[in-house]
Structure 1
Amino acid sequence: MAADEDVLTGVVYASTYLVRGLDRSPRQRTLRVGHRTRVVSGLAGFRGAVSLAMVLSVPQTLDSGVPFPDRGFIVFVTSGVILVTLVVQGLLLPVAVRWAKLPPDTSVDAEHDLAETTAIEEAVEAMPELAAGLRSEPRIVEWLRQEYEAHLASVRARSAGVRDDPAVLQHRDYLALRLALIAHKRATVVRLRDERRIDDTVLRRLQAALDGEEVRLSGGAAVE
């Protein structure tokens, strides 16, 4: 019943050595992965997909109209084997991942920092023109400029791996205080509802706004 998984696992290993035999370029060497990664890839595949499709394709009846012999038993046994295989896979996969000691994927963090840095830099450059078009008050523009530049300094320091940079620490303290204030505001609106000074509709509206603000700030804190 697990022949399809064995074939797929074999393909993972065979294709690796086939590609290595056909492509000996230096670039291909940089793309190679170790046997530990291949073990995890082979073990992480979905189990039983082909077996389930095959057993469900067994017809209900033969061409003569007679019911297919023991079809229900075949489906039962196949489903049982698939279930046991999935349970075993669920128990072995965490062990295999820990054994493989896979390196962390830093590409996402690097791309996030690049996008965030570029967006803030271009926003700061566009701020005078946008403020002039909106006729914003100078003090509002200055306040936003300082906030953006402080955030930009923290992102640059974080990208450089300087976790104890003053800009990073200040931004972390800023986020912690903002999150604490949101929690305090949430408790306040709940108290106002309990005191019947606002109804549930107003409470839900305010909680939705606070939840959105918290998610946005928590996203920024998560990448610190």
Structure 2
Amino acid sequence: MLPFPVPTPLVQILLGGVIGLSTSHRVALDPELFLLLFLPPLLFLDGWRIPKDELFKDLPTVVELALGLVILTVVGMGLFIHWMIPAIPLAVAFALAAVVSPTDPIAVSAIAARVPIPKRMMHILEGESLLNDASGLVCLRFAVAAALTGSFSIGAAALNFLWVAIAGLAVGVAVTVAASRAKAWVTKKWGEDTGSQILVSLLIPFGAYLLAEHLHASGILAAVSAGVTMTFTEISRQAMAVTRMRRNSVWDTIQFSLNGIIFVLLGEQLPSILAGAKQTVAVTGHSSLWWLAAYVMAIVVGLATLRFLWVWASLRLTILRNAYKGVGSQSTDWRLIAATSIAGVRGAITLAGVLTLPVAMGDGSPFPARDLAIFLAAGVIIVSLVIASIGLPMLLKGLAMPPEPSKQAEEDNARITTAQAAIQAIERHQHTLAEDHGQADLYVAAGGQVMDIYRERIEGLSERQSDESRLADRLAGEFRLVGVKAERLALAQLLRARRISSETARKITQELDLAEARFRG
């Protein structure tokens, strides 16, 4: 066993490299098609699943990292790359800096499986990744446009950025709300079909992306905002448990498959990319492979240095703001800042972005230094993954983590509230059945059996349901479904009132889904 965790992306890249070396065939990647197929669903799912309460709580820090650090990275690293490798035009250098600015929490999660990363740090990394994917790729769009046209205006770019951002966000929200309302209307009129519900959720990110691009807005931001909006539309329009469970399985498979395909494609393309990159480097007067490795290491060190300085400065400003407000703050161990710096590894979004660089200029000539840019981006991904795999365990070992508030009390209160709502609903259902059909003793026994389960939950007990006759079991299942429905309504009210976090609500919802699927089956 290796002394450090091996992230799945590295294994996938290695597999792709083996495929690339074992055959002369190459996958021809169309940049626009690649962007459309891979980015909208991945960004949509990130926006959908990210814990919203944690994101909003650390929003200032997330915005500082996702916008301020991205702009600093694009400008600073763009100038540095052009100075270091004159063969890369300035606009292309800015484009390369833009694609290496987004971070990838999926790769960090693979490392976190063996290394205990603080939850708040993970939430910040997830929120940063969600927003810097969009900001980095929007900067890439401007850099590529400058490379193709040969001109760039800061004023025009600023106005265009506002339109691209605002319109993209609005399109994502509008598409998700419209699709959700249409689904609710169809479900109310003809019933819910699991397959069609899942299909609609798969089409939403593509619809938002294509509509935004048609309006010359950001399809990337549209996909992100569509995913974020999906969380809130789900609160008021509950799907069936079986729909949610199957949909989650489908999306998990899609996420793993798309990320895996991207990294396998990276490995498969490396041999040809390396050959083209060596020719490009020769223009600068170098031809050795070690120069390529030196360029990659220089970019990785530059990215880590900028990130470390930005995180440190952001932390100092936070401490100063708290001191001005009279709120005491503890100084953070430098190792935690360093861990935050190297945890910002590059991954699927960086690769997807760099592969969208145009193949040719407007006049038909090859896009300058495209192969070199792709190789450098691929090298940054691999090296950052390796450094994080080795460095994070070393930095976090024995580190005293900042205290994190426990959510156990919040979760317990939510369970008690939903259980009480279920007991009240079952009692009402008992009375209704007794009045309509008589046999009150039978309904009291069956309902009491289920209510005992809820009472035991409230009292902190755990006891298995006893066996009864077939009729009693069927009635018990009916009462259980009534209770689950009441729990859902109570949980939705708690979430709307912001008395619980979205993470707690999602955890309890999954348990209710399993219970409902069991008793409906």
If the length of structure 1 is used for normalisation, what is the TM-score? Answer: 0.54
Aligned to 1:139: 445
Q: Decide whether the 8 Å contact of 1:55 with 1:78 is kept in 2.
A: yes
Q: Decide whether the 8 Å contact of 1:124 with 1:145 is kept in 2.
A: yes
Q: Following superposition of structure 1 onto structure 2, how do residues 99-138 of structure 1 map, counting pairs within 5 Å? A: 99-102=398-401, 105=404, 107-135=406-434, 137-138=443-444
1:34 aligns with 2:332: yes
Q: Following superposition of structure 1 onto structure 2, how do residues 33-112 of structure 1 map, counting pairs within 5 Å? A: 34-35=332-333, 36-47=335-346, 60=359, 66-67=365-366, 70-102=369-401, 105=404, 107-112=406-411
Q: Decide whether the 8 Å contact of 1:5 with 1:47 is kept in 2.
A: no
- TM-aligned CA deviation for residue 131 of structure 1: 1.6
- Cα pair distance change 1:125/1:98, threshold 3 Å: farther
Residues 49-74 of structure 1, C-alpha deviations (whole Å, 9 max, x = no match)? 89868966876556876545654234
Q: Decide whether the 8 Å contact of 2:416 with 2:457 is kept in 1.
A: no
- TM-aligned CA deviation for residue 145 of structure 1: 2.9
| Amino acid in the other structure paired with 1:47 | R
Distance between the aligned counterparts of 2:351 and 2:398, measured in 1?
A: 30
Aligned to 1:10: 309
1:150 to 450, 456, 463: 456
Distance between the aligned counterparts of 1:47 and 1:10, measured in 2?
A: 18
Distance between the aligned counterparts of 2:428 and 2:363, measured in 1?
A: 81
Distance between the aligned counterparts of 1:131 and 1:54, measured in 2?
A: 59
Q: Decide whether the 8 Å contact of 2:345 with 2:388 is kept in 1.
A: no
1:23 aligns with 2:322: yes
- Cα pair distance change 1:33/1:127, threshold 3 Å: farther
The worse-fitting range, judged by mean Cα deviation, of 107-116 and 70-79 is 70-79
Residues 17-44 of structure 1, C-alpha deviations (whole Å, 9 max, x = no match)? 01222332244x36x5722443332222
If the length of structure 2 is used for normalisation, what is the TM-score? Answer: 0.26
- TM-aligned CA deviation for residue 95 of structure 1: 3.2
Distance between the aligned counterparts of 1:149 and 1:50, measured in 2?
A: 48
Instruction: Note the aligned Cα RMSD (angstroms).
Output: 3.9
Aligned to 1:206: none
Distance between the aligned counterparts of 1:47 and 1:133, measured in 2?
A: 59
Aligned to 1:198: none
| Amino acid in the other structure paired with 1:39 | A
Distance between the aligned counterparts of 1:22 and 1:106, measured in 2?
A: 22
1 or 2 for the larger relative contact order (CA 8 Å, sep ≥6)? 2
- Cα pair distance change 1:138/1:39, threshold 3 Å: same
The worse-fitting range, judged by mean Cα deviation, of 115-124 and 63-72 is 63-72
What number of residue pairs does the alignment pair up?
A: 162
**Can you give the 5+ residue segments of structure 1 that lack an aligned partner in the other structure?**
155-166, 179-211, 217-224
SS at match of 1:121: helix
The worse-fitting range, judged by mean Cα deviation, of 99-108 and 1-10 is 99-108
Q: Decide whether the 8 Å contact of 1:124 with 1:148 is kept in 2.
A: yes
Q: Following superposition of structure 1 onto structure 2, how do residues 156-195 of structure 1 map, counting pairs within 5 Å? A: 167=461, 171=462, 174=463
Distance between the aligned counterparts of 2:450 and 2:398, measured in 1?
A: 48
Q: Decide whether the 8 Å contact of 1:131 with 1:141 is kept in 2.
A: yes
Q: Decide whether the 8 Å contact of 2:430 with 2:447 is kept in 1.
A: yes
Identity %: 25
- Cα pair distance change 1:63/1:123, threshold 3 Å: closer
SS at match of 2:407: helix
Q: Decide whether the 8 Å contact of 2:354 with 2:373 is kept in 1.
A: yes
Distance between the aligned counterparts of 2:312 and 2:322, measured in 1?
A: 16
- TM-aligned CA deviation for residue 122 of structure 1: 2.9
SS at match of 2:397: helix
Q: Decide whether the 8 Å contact of 1:62 with 1:68 is kept in 2.
A: yes
Residues 63-109 of structure 1, C-alpha deviations (whole Å, 9 max, x = no match)? 87654565423432442243122112122223333333436855333
Distance between the aligned counterparts of 2:383 and 2:307, measured in 1?
A: 18
